[in-house]
Chain A
C-alpha cells in the first residue's frame, strides 16, 4: 500500500470517447503529479499541482485535461485521444513540489483503439 491509489487500473477507449483517470492520495501531501510512461521511453512529467494550483504543464496536448479539486485528488480527463497516447499513466505525490521523495500509484494502463 503506497498511499496513492489510481483508478481504473486498466482502460480501453476509442478515439472518440471521453474518460477520466482518478488519483487519490492519503498521505497529506501538497503536491501531485501526472507522468506518462511509454515503452522504451523515459517517464514524461505531464502536469504538476501544488495545493490545487497547476504549477507546470509540459507542452501536453489539450486532449489531456487535468483537474485538482483538492490536495488529495487529481484527475486526468481524456478526450479524442490517439493510438500513440496508449501508455501507463502514473500519478505521484510528494510533501511539497521538489521534496526529496515522491510516492507513486500503481498506474492506469490506457489503450486507445
Chain B
C-alpha cells in the first residue's frame, strides 16, 4: 500500500523568500509522485509530477520538486515566493494502475 505524509499543515513565508513544502512517501513499488495546488473555492490543479524519468521535476509557476529515493521524499520548492502562491498544496502518490493517494495538505501563506 502507498501513503504520503506532508510535514506541516501550515507554512508561512515572506514574499521573495524560499518556499519549501515537505512530502514523504511510502511505497513498496516504484511510485509516481505529484504535487497539486488548490486555490480558494477551486478544484485541484497539477503543479508537477514524477513518473520515473528525471529526478528533478520542474512544474508550472516556477515550482520544482526533487525525487529522493534514499530519503523517500518529494519536497516542493520555489526560490522566491509571490503573493499569488498563497494556496493549499497537496502531495500525492500512486503506482502503475493504482489510485491517487493524497496527503493532508499544506496551506501556504505569503506575507508582504
Contact = CB atoms under 8 A, between A and B. Distances in A.
Tell me if A's interface is mostly helix, strand, loop or mixed. loop
Interface stretch (B16-24, B61-69, B95-103): B95-103
A40 B36 CA distance: 16
Interface string B84-112: 00000010001111111011110000000
Contacts of A107: 41-43
Residue among A40, A43, A103 with the highest chain B CB neighbour number at 10 A: A43
Nearest to A105: B43
A6 B42 CA distance: 11
Interface in A1-39: 2, 4, 6, 9
12 contacts: A43-B90, A48-B99, A97-B99, A98-B94, A98-B96, A98-B97, A98-B99, A100-B32, A100-B49, A104-B44, A104-B45, A109-B41
